[in-house]
Amino acid sequence: MTIQAVTSWEGTVAGLELLVQGSKNAAAIHEAMGGRNPRLWRASAGGDMEQAFYSLDFDSHEAYGKFLDVMMVSEWWAGSISWMDENQEIITNLGTSIYYNAI
């Protein structure tokens, strides 16, 4: 069963631009760790213009768990935590939800 991990972000215009650049850099790293199809979703119309959603696909919950095991001990993750702390005034990580296709 394919699942999708979606991390929600909220920020200022400047914060979201930092997120775009960070996401471009993170995509290849996440793929090397086992994630597939990295995407950063931004609203082009309607509400929630101050939010963005970064998504990765996985073949199973087990594959996602293996990804987390690798990510959590990586230098990349330690750097990401520092980046979030340094930029907390303009960008906030709202957490990650795991989705599955119900149809």
Strand partners, 11: 91
What the block records as the tokens of 10 is: 């909220």
Domain ranges of the chain: 3-100
- Residue 9 confidence (pLDDT): 98
Which alpha helices (H) appear in 53-93, and where do they start and end?
Answer: 61-72, 75-86
Q: What pTM does this model have?
A: 0.94
- Residue 47 confidence (pLDDT): 84
Residue 87: pLDDT above 90?
A: yes
Q: Which residues of 33-47 are buried (b: 16+ CB within 10 A; e: fewer)?
A: bbbeebebeeeeeee
The CATH code belonging to domain 3-100 is 3.30.70.100
